[in-house]
Amino acid sequence: MSELTFDRKLRNYAELAIKMGVGLQPGQRLLVRAPVDSAPLVRLITEAAYKAGSPLVEVLWGDDALTLARFNYAPRDSFEAYPDWYVSALLEIAECGGAVLSVLATDPDLLKDQDPELVALTQKVHRTKTQPFMKKLMNDDLNWSIISQPIPGWAAKIFPGEPPAAQMSKLWDVIFVVCRADQPDPVAAWQAHIAHLAERRDKLNAKQYTALKYSAPGTDLTLGMPKHHLWHAGQKKTLGGIPFIPNIPTEEVFSAPHKDRVDGIVTSTKPLSYGGRLIDNFTLTFEQGRVVSVTAEKGEDTLKKLLEMDEGAARLGEVALVPHSSPISQSGLLFFNTLFDENAASHLALGKAYRFCVKGGTEMDDDRFAAVGGNNSLTHVDFMIGSKEMDIDGVTGSGHTEPLMRGGEWVD
Ligand code: ZN
Ligand code: ZN
């Protein structure tokens, strides 16, 4: 058990978000997006940001109750309405050289009783409207980060049967541990962690596998890799050279698969929370990169809607490797939140590939990026496929196959 008090850990967490997450530099404005429940944390984040030399910190508040009110009561034909000022605010921050921090916390079942058409429509409108900003974000124009914090609806889902106060404090404890905020010097702990991930990334980049082969119960998949692909992990740098960590926590090493060279079947190992609905126990069958059939025990409609969002939504845009022994996996919990669950298991993502996963990708236009195998889509949704039964092989340029992971763990 950690000896630090809750207040100290909360302060550590806020400092981590500023110093390691966004890596805020003196003179940089900060925009925070957060649920109202996270006000105590956001106040500490704001303090840490001003102490780091920010001239202006602003917060855009929202929460689940506000989202739900719209779905429950707004006119059914009004779901294309969108606040353009919201996009302007994000672009203003990017253009003035500022940074963005998001505190992501939502009840995974929030929209379970809502019309999937409307849920898909709001996702699509949001993605379409914010695309100019997302482009800047994906091209590393600015430093940004996503963290999380417990809210009652979400904590109840993770610890059902516990009294509400215990649900919240248990979830806080886990988050502090997996984010290393329980450590006396969390910044030093993160620096060591980042160095470790970088070593793994560099090894994979040197290998330049032409394909990865996955096998596990319900999974037999060959996933081609683009030429000159780049693996990434942990810390990144903006085009201007500011180091930042997009996700806290992070355990993954990831790249982009070739959008036309994925064949076989893959089975999910954790439920996917998408747009406030759960998709569970699903399989995707790929032919030449495209999903040709799906099955799902739960949320098949939602999954099909997701795949139909656009042409790229039925192809892969991310391949990520995470050992089964990761601290998040060891917590034994299902978080119903990609920020945590994606760091518990090897995963893939449907939809958009990150340009920076191919050498020179950020300078390519859409056609050029597609020609080298990069997928484009409005969406990007991670789903977990890793388990302690998963083996992964790498295929080298000379066609040689070598073991990469066995039983969910790195071979070397
Ligand atoms: Zn990922
Ligand atoms: Zn992803």
How much is the pLDDT for 332?
87
Does 34 fall in a domain? yes
Task: Provide the token pair at 369.
Answer: 């990026």
Does 345 fall in a domain? yes
Does 127 fall in a domain? yes
Per-chain residues with Cβ under 5 A from ion ligand 2: 318, 349, 382
**Distance from the alpha carbon of residue 138 to the mean position of ligand 1, in angstroms:** 14
CA atoms within 13 Å, Cβ hemisphere of 159: 18
164 and 210: one domain? no
139 and 93: one domain? yes
How much is the pLDDT for 337?
87
**Distance from the alpha carbon of residue 65 to the mean position of ligand 1, in angstroms:** 28
Q: Do 388 and 369 touch, CB atoms closer than 8 A? A: no
Task: Provide the token pair at 282.
Answer: 């699903």
Of 294, 289, 300, 292, the residue nearest 267 (C-alpha): 294
CATH of the domain at 138: 3.40.1830.10
**Distance from the alpha carbon of residue 216 to the mean position of ligand 1, in angstroms:** 19
Number of domains in the chain: 2
Which ranges of 52-185 would DSSP assign to H, the alpha helix? Answer: 64-73, 84-95, 116-129, 131-138, 152-158, 164-178
Distance CA 191, CA 201 (A): 15
**Distance from the alpha carbon of residue 322 to the mean position of ligand 2, in angstroms:** 12
Average pLDDT value for the chain: 95
23 and 147: one domain? yes
**Distance from the alpha carbon of residue 353 to the mean position of ligand 2, in angstroms:** 9
Q: Where are the beta strands (DSSP E) in 12-53?
A: 30-35
Does 225 fall in a domain? yes
Total Cβ atoms within 10 A of residue 358: 24
Query: 161's torsion region: left (phi>0), alpha (psi -120 to 50) or beta?
Result: left
Radius of gyration of the CA atoms of the chain, in A: 20
Distance CA 30, CA 97 (A): 9
How much is the pLDDT for 163?
97
Domain that holds residue 293: 186-234+250-410
**Distance from the alpha carbon of residue 250 to the mean position of ligand 1, in angstroms:** 9
**Distance from the alpha carbon of residue 357 to the mean position of ligand 1, in angstroms:** 12
Which ligand lies nearest the alpha carbon of 231?
1
Distance CA 233, CA 247 (A): 10
Percent of the chain having pLDDT more than 90? 91
**Distance from the alpha carbon of residue 162 to the mean position of ligand 1, in angstroms:** 31
Does 83 fall in a domain? yes
Residue 1, pLDDT > 60, answer: no
Over residues 341-373, the pLDDT tens digits come to 889 999 999 999 999 999 999 899 999 999 999
Does 110 fall in a domain? yes
Does 245 fall in a domain? no
- Helix, strand, or coil (residue 179): coil
**Distance from the alpha carbon of residue 137 to the mean position of ligand 1, in angstroms:** 15
Which ligand lies nearest the alpha carbon of 316?
2
Which ligand lies nearest the alpha carbon of 380?
2
Over residues 154-175, the pLDDT tens digits come to 999 999 999 999 999 999 999 9
Distance CA 369, CA 211 (A): 19
- Is this structure's pTM higher than 0.85? yes
Q: Among 146, 178, 210, where does a domain finish?
A: 178
